[in-house]
Chain A
Amino acid sequence: MEEEPRIGVFVCNCGINIGGVVNVEEVAEYATTLPNVVVSRSSLYTCSDRGQGMIKDDIDEFKLNRVIVASCSPRMHEPTFRKVIEEKGLNKYVFEQANLREHVSWVHSKQPEEATKKAKDLVRMAVAKARLLESLPQHLVDVKGEALVIGGGISGLTAAKSIADRGFKVHLVEKTPNFGGKMAQLYKVFPTFDDPQELLNPLVEDIMAHPNITPYLSAEIADIEGYIGNYRAIIREQTEEKEIEFGTIIVATGFNAYDPNGEFKYGKHQNILTAMELHQLMRADGPTQGNLVTPAEGKTPRSIALISCVGSRQNENTVPEGKKPNAYCSRVCCTGMIATGMEIKEKSPDADIFVLYRDLRTHGKGHEELFTEFRQTGSTMIRYTDDQLPMISSTQGAEYPLSVTSYDSLSGLNVEIPVDLVVLATGMIPDDSASNIASKLHITISADGFFQELHPKLAPLDSVTDGVYLAGTAQGPKDVPDSVSQSLGAAAKACAPMALGQVEVESTIAVIDEDFCTGCGVCQGSCEFSAIVFEERDEGKKVSKVIEALCKGCGTCGSSCPSAAITMLHFKDAQLDAMVKAALTPQAGEK
C-alpha cells in the first residue's frame, strides 16, 4: 500500500493493571509526538465494548490505516483487536500491539517512572513497525472433499467408513489382497474373546458396498504429491495404474510382528512359535482345524511356556549381535499372552501353563480382571529379569521335546521347565512401508520407528504436515479399541477441513524475490516443512519457490538466504530493524 500511514494509538489502563503503575495519560500524550500518529487516546478497558467502539469510530473519523493498541500481551488479545479492525474493513495485518501489562506494569510494579519510560519505548517501537506494516492477502486454499486412507486393517477400515458416512469420497488402499490386516489373523481378541471375523466381516462388506468408498486391494501408492486440500497420487492396483486427487490423508499402515529370529531358539525347533503363529494354529481355519497340537508331533501339548517381552523393552545386552534393540514396550503383549493362556486352558484344560514375564502390564479395560481370572487357573507365573533371559534347549529323546530354564526374581531360584510348546509373545514393529511413506508425505518418524505425532500429549492424531493424520498402530503399539478410537479421531480431524471446503493458511509467509535468488537451495535445506521447491524458469534458470500452503511462516529460510532474496512477511528485516532502531535511538523514532 502506497498511501501515507495514518496511525491510531490506543493506550489501555486495563483497570488499574496498567494504569496503576504506568502513567497512561503521559504515554498517550507522548504517542502523538511520533511520526504518522494522527490520533492517540487512553481508555479504561480497550478490549471492552466501549473501547472497541472507540477504535472503530476513530478509524472512520481519522481515516486510520494502521492501528496500535498498547495493552496486554498480543497472545491474549491480538485476535480480538484484529477482528475489530477487520469489521471496519481494514486488513488484520495492519494491527500492532504493544505489551504494557505482562511486559511492563506487572513486572516493574515498584518502578513507575522506569515503567512509564519503557511503555513509551514500546509504543515508539510499535509505531516504527506500524509505519512499515502492509496489508497481506488472505490465503485460502480449497480442500477437495476426498480422502486417501493408507492401510486396510481395522484402523484404516474404521477411518474410511466414518469419512464415507460423513459424506466424503474415500480411496482405501491396502497392499495385501484382503482387508482386515493383522486383526483378521487373530484367533480371538482380548479381553472379551470375540471372534475377529465376526467384528470385521460386516465392516468389510459395508466398505465394499459403500457408494463413497473406492477400495484398492493388492495395491500400492506409486507416487504422491501436494499439500492439504490438494493432493494427487498414483495408485497401482495389480497391473493397472490410476491417478486420483484428494484433500486429506490418513496413514493407517499398521504394524508387523517382531521377528525373533536368533532369539529364544526360534526357528530351531517346530514347537517354538510366535504368538501370531499360535493364533493361526488355534483358528478353526488353521492347519489343524483349530486343534491345538504341537507342530512336530501333532500331539496335544501337556506343558506350555509363554515368554513375554520378545522384541520389546530390549537393550544392547538382550539382543543378538547386529540386531537393533527395541527399547519401547509393545503395550499389548502382556494381556495378549494372558488371553492366550486362557484360550489354551479352554482348548486343553489339562495343559500346564508357565508365564515368563518381566512386569505384567495388563492395563486396559477389563485386562487386570482377566489376569486375576487367569491366576485362578493355577498357572505358574515366573518373573525373569533382563540380565538373565530365559534359555530354551531341545531335549533329544526326553519325555518333553523342549526345556526352558530361567531365573525367577520372585522366588530367587533358577527354575527348569520341561515343555511341549514355547510361545513367544512378540512385540510390534512399524510396517516396512513406514519410512517410505514418511518421506513421501514429509512426516516425521520418532525414535521407535513409528510415525511421530504433532504433540505426544494433546495432538496424538496429527502429523507435522497439515492434512495428514495418523491412525492406529502406525503411530505406536496399541490394542484394537485404542486403534479404533484413534482412527475414528483421525477421521474427525480429516473431516474438518473437508467439511469447511477451505482452509485459511497464515498470510505471514516467506516470499522469494526471483531476481535475487541464485538457486543455491540453502533455503530448501533450512525449511523443516519442505515448503520450498525449485522451479525452472525460462533460459533454464532454477529458482526457489515457496509453496504458500506448506509454509508455516517461521522465517528460518529468510535468515539463511545468502542473497537476501527472501522476505518474511509481517516480520520483514526492515520492520524488525526499525523496531530495534526506535528502541535504542529515540530521536530516530520520533518526529
Chain B
Amino acid sequence: MLNEKAVLVIGGGVTGIQAAIDVANQGIKTYLVEKTPSVGGHMAQLDKTFPTLDCSACILTPKMVDVARHPNIELLTYSEVKEVSGTAGDFIIKIEKKPRYVDATKCTGCAHCAIHCPVEVLNDFDEMIGVRKAIYVPFPQAVPLVYTIDMDNCIECELCKNVCEAEAVNFDQEIEEIEVNVGSIILATGYDLFDATKLKNYGYGSYDNVLSSLEFERLLSASGPAGGHVFRLSDGKIPRRIAFLQCVGSRDSEHGMPYCSRVCCMYAIKNAILAKDHIHGGCETTIYYIDVRAFGKGFEEFYQNSQTRFGVKFVRGKVGEIVEDVNTNNLIVRVENTETGQLFEDEFDMVVLSSGLVPSQGSAEINKILNLPIDQYGFFEELNRISPVDTKIEGVYMAGVCESVKDIPDGVSQASAAAMRASLKAI
C-alpha cells in the first residue's frame, strides 16, 4: 500500500513534524531531515503557548514521538541535505548523516554518560543560560532520545564509553552519506531570532538584565536552566518590575526590518502573564507597544484578560533607549508615551526584548542548493495569492516561517497544506 514515490521534508520543527505526519498518513514514504540532534525546533524551547497557556512540551512531545514511531516516516536527525538534483516527481537528494559518536540503536537515553562527562558547555538550547555536557541530549524530551557527543568540546577522556552499560558510545563513527529519491520537497526551515545586539540603544549583550524573549522563555520553563524560577542574571535577585519592549527588529525600517513579526505582541502578553504567575510575592509587568496586534482566534480576548484579570500594564510608545544603573544593574528605559505625548524615564529590574523573527540560517543554506526566489528579507516567495505554499520551483513546497512570519497554528495549517501539495507530486 506504500507509494513507490516519496516526499522529503527539510526541518524538524513543529511545522516540519506536522508536514511529515500529514504526508506519511496518506501512505506515502516520508523522509524528515533535521540538522540538530533532536526534532522539536523552537517550539520545544517555549514554556507555555498563547492564547491558551498550554504547556508547549506537553502538546508537542506526543507529536515528536508520533513522527519517530510512524511506519512511513524515516527520521534523519543530526543530518543535512547536501545536494538536490532532478525535477518535480523525481528529485535525487544527497543527505549527510553527521556522526553522533553514539550508536542510536543501542543508546537507551539513561543519561549515565552525561552524569560522568567532565566537560560542561553552555547549552544553546537554553539560549546559553544553562549548561550541558559534551555528551548530551539538548533537552529531556528529545526525540530520538539518543545522546550525541559534541566533538568541538569533547576531550575524549572516554569516561562516557566506560560507564555506558549499553555499550553505545563509539568514537569511530564517521560521516555517512545517503541518497534518496523523492517526488517532492517540503521546506520547513523556520526562523532565527532577530539579533538584538544590532540595536545599540538597548544594550542587549552588554547589560546582564536585558534578555531576549527566547532567553526569558527558558527562564520560565520548568525544565529550563532555572527550573522555572525567574531571576536576574546579574545578581540572581528576583525581578519585581519587568518591562517588555515590542517591535525590536520589527516595523523598524531604520534597521532594515520593516515587516511585522506577527507573534511578538502575543508572546509578550503571554510572558508578562507568566512572569506574574511564576514570581512569588508578585511582579509588575509593563509592555511598551506601537499597536497591539492580537488578531488570531482568541487573541483579542486574551489581550483584554491580560489587563483586566492579570493586571498587565500597557504603554503606547517605542522605547528610545535603555541605560543601566551601574550600581544596581537596574535598567532605566527612556520612552515617549504617545498617548499623553509626555517623555519619561522608568526603572526596571529586568527588560525583555520582544525580538522579531528573521529567516533562518538553515533557509539560506538550503537555498544555496535550490536557488529559490526570495523576498528582500530572505523569506521564500510564494507562487501567487492562492498558492501560498507553492514555491516558484515545481515540486518544491514550503511551510511555516520560512515563507513568512506566522504563529504555530498558522504554521501547522501551512504544514498540512504543503503536505497536500507535495503528496500530489508523489502519487
Hey, which chain A residues are within 8 Å of B304, CB to CB?
A: 327
Q: Which of A369, A412, A456, A491 has the most chain B CB atoms closer than 10 A to its own CB? A: A456
Indicate if A279 sits at the interface (CB-CB under 8 A): no
A484 near B112: Cβ-Cβ < 8 Å: no
B52 near A15: Cβ-Cβ < 8 Å: no
Q: How large is the interface on B (under 10, 10 to 19, 20 to 34, 35 or more residues)?
A: 35 or more
Which candidate, B21-29, B170-178, B201-209, is the interface stretch facing chain A? Answer: B21-29
B297 near A476: Cβ-Cβ < 8 Å: yes
User: Beyond A329-B294, A329-B295, is A458–B423 a contact (Cβ under 8 Å)?
Assistant: no
Indicate if A547 sits at the interface (CB-CB under 8 A): no
Indicate if B388 sits at the interface (CB-CB under 8 A): yes
The one of A203, A361, A366, A455 that contacts B295, using a Cβ cutoff of 8 Å: A361
Hey, which chain B residues are within 8 Å of A450, CB to CB?
A: 297
Indicate if B165 sits at the interface (CB-CB under 8 A): yes
B416 near A493: Cβ-Cβ < 8 Å: yes
Docked complex Cα distance between A45 and B105 (Å) = 13
Interface residue tally for chain A (C-beta within 8 Å): 73
The one of A15, A410, A482 that contacts B413, using a Cβ cutoff of 8 Å: A482
Residue of B nearest to A44 (CB): B165
B26 near A492: Cβ-Cβ < 8 Å: yes
Minimal beta-carbon separation of A389 from chain B (angstroms): 17
User: Beyond A44-B165, A488-B389, A491-B420, is A368–B251 a contact (Cβ under 8 Å)?
Assistant: yes
Hey, which chain B residues are within 8 Å of A367, CB to CB?
A: 260
Considering the complex, which residues of chain B in the window 270-292 have a beta carbon less than 8 Å from any beta carbon of chain A? 291-292
Which candidate, A109-117, A161-169, A230-238, A253-261, is the interface stretch facing chain B? Answer: A161-169
Hey, which chain B residues are within 8 Å of A461, CB to CB?
A: 413, 416
User: Beyond A15-B166, A493-B22, is A412–B427 a contact (Cβ under 8 Å)?
Assistant: no
A499 near B27: Cβ-Cβ < 8 Å: yes
User: Beyond A456-B52, A484-B387, is A495–B420 a contact (Cβ under 8 Å)?
Assistant: yes
Minimal beta-carbon separation of B107 from chain A (angstroms): 10
Bitwise, B258-272 to A at CB < 8 A (1) or not (0) is 111010000000000
Indicate if B130 sits at the interface (CB-CB under 8 A): no
The one of B28, B298, B382, B420 that contacts A456, using a Cβ cutoff of 8 Å: B298
Indicate if B415 sits at the interface (CB-CB under 8 A): yes
Bitwise, A443-456 to B at CB < 8 A (1) or not (0) is 00011101001011
Indicate if B92 sits at the interface (CB-CB under 8 A): no
Residue of A nearest to B387 (CB): A484
Bitwise, B414-427 to A at CB < 8 A (1) or not (0) is 11111111011001
Which candidate, B150-158, B191-199, B235-243, B402-410, is the interface stretch facing chain A? Answer: B402-410
Docked complex Cα distance between A359 and B403 (Å) = 25
Minimal beta-carbon separation of A143 from chain B (angstroms): 12
A458 near B300: Cβ-Cβ < 8 Å: no
Hey, which chain B residues are within 8 Å of A166, CB to CB?
A: 420, 423-424, 427
The one of B23, B106, B295, B408 that contacts A457, using a Cβ cutoff of 8 Å: B408
A485 near B414: Cβ-Cβ < 8 Å: yes
Indicate if B328 sits at the interface (CB-CB under 8 A): no
Indicate if B131 sits at the interface (CB-CB under 8 A): no
Indicate if A189 sits at the interface (CB-CB under 8 A): yes
Hey, which chain A residues are within 8 Å of B295, CB to CB?
A: 329, 331, 361, 363
Docked complex Cα distance between A367 and B262 (Å) = 11
The one of A16, A327, A480, A481 that contacts B112, using a Cβ cutoff of 8 Å: A16
Docked complex Cα distance between A321 and B106 (Å) = 69
Indicate if B320 sits at the interface (CB-CB under 8 A): no
A368 near B260: Cβ-Cβ < 8 Å: yes
Docked complex Cα distance between A391 and B165 (Å) = 77
A457 near B386: Cβ-Cβ < 8 Å: no
Docked complex Cα distance between A328 and B299 (Å) = 7
Indicate if A486 sits at the interface (CB-CB under 8 A): yes
A331 near B296: Cβ-Cβ < 8 Å: yes
Indicate if A555 sits at the interface (CB-CB under 8 A): no
Considering the complex, which residues of chain A in the window 142-170 have a beta carbon less than 8 Å from any beta carbon of chain B? 154, 158, 162, 165-167
Minimal beta-carbon separation of B315 from chain A (angstroms): 13
Which candidate, B78-86, B219-227, B335-343, is the interface stretch facing chain A? Answer: B335-343
Hey, which chain B residues are within 8 Å of A199, CB to CB?
A: 384-386
Indicate if A489 sits at the interface (CB-CB under 8 A): yes
Bitwise, A560-584 to B at CB < 8 A (1) or not (0) is 0000000000000000000000000
A489 near B419: Cβ-Cβ < 8 Å: yes
Indicate if B412 sits at the interface (CB-CB under 8 A): yes
Indicate if A47 sits at the interface (CB-CB under 8 A): yes
Bitwise, A309-321 to B at CB < 8 A (1) or not (0) is 0001100000000
Residue of A nearest to B165 (CB): A15
Indicate if A586 sits at the interface (CB-CB under 8 A): no
Indicate if B110 sits at the interface (CB-CB under 8 A): yes
B339 near A485: Cβ-Cβ < 8 Å: no
Bitwise, A349-369 to B at CB < 8 A (1) or not (0) is 000000000011111111111
Hey, which chain B residues are within 8 Å of A481, CB to CB?
A: 382, 385-386, 388
Indicate if A79 sits at the interface (CB-CB under 8 A): yes
Considering the complex, which residues of chain A in the window 1-18 have a beta carbon less than 8 Å from any beta carbon of chain B? 14-17
Residue of B nearest to A80 (CB): B69
The one of B413, B419, B427 that contacts A460, using a Cβ cutoff of 8 Å: B413
B297 near A456: Cβ-Cβ < 8 Å: yes
Minimal beta-carbon separation of A546 from chain B (angstroms): 26
Docked complex Cα distance between A410 and B340 (Å) = 7
A482 near B59: Cβ-Cβ < 8 Å: no
Indicate if A544 sits at the interface (CB-CB under 8 A): no
A48 near B260: Cβ-Cβ < 8 Å: no
Indicate if B14 sits at the interface (CB-CB under 8 A): yes
Indicate if B392 sits at the interface (CB-CB under 8 A): no
Indicate if A194 sits at the interface (CB-CB under 8 A): yes
Docked complex Cα distance between A481 and B383 (Å) = 11
Bitwise, A396-415 to B at CB < 8 A (1) or not (0) is 00000000000001111000
Indicate if B293 sits at the interface (CB-CB under 8 A): yes
A360 near B300: Cβ-Cβ < 8 Å: no
Residue of B nearest to A83 (CB): B69
Docked complex Cα distance between A44 and B108 (Å) = 11
Indicate if B179 sits at the interface (CB-CB under 8 A): no
B386 near A15: Cβ-Cβ < 8 Å: no
Residue of A nearest to B421 (CB): A488
| Apart from the given pairs A45-B166, A368-B258, A484-B385, 15 other A-B contacts in the complex at a CB distance below 8 Å | A166-B424, A166-B427, A189-B385, A313-B300, A365-B405, A369-B258, A450-B297, A453-B409, A455-B59, A460-B410, A492-B22, A492-B26, A495-B26, A495-B420, A496-B22
A–B Cβ pairs within 8 angstroms, 28 of them: A48-B106, A48-B166, A162-B424, A166-B424, A312-B300, A328-B298, A328-B299, A329-B295, A362-B260, A364-B262, A410-B339, A411-B341, A453-B297, A453-B409, A457-B52, A457-B54, A460-B409, A460-B412, A481-B386, A484-B385, A484-B417, A488-B389, A492-B26, A492-B420, A495-B26, A495-B420, A499-B27, A500-B1
**Which residues on A are within 8 Å of B, measured CB to CB?**
14-17, 44-45, 47-48, 79, 154, 158, 162, 165-167, 189, 192, 194, 199, 203, 312-313, 327-329, 331, 359-369, 372, 409-412, 446-448, 450, 453, 455-461, 475-476, 480-482, 484-493, 495-496, 499-500
**Which residues on B are within 8 Å of A, measured CB to CB?**
1, 14, 18, 22-23, 25-28, 49, 51-52, 54, 59-60, 63, 69, 106, 108, 110, 112, 165-166, 251, 253, 258-260, 262, 291-301, 304, 338-341, 379, 382, 384-389, 403-405, 408-410, 412-421, 423-424, 427
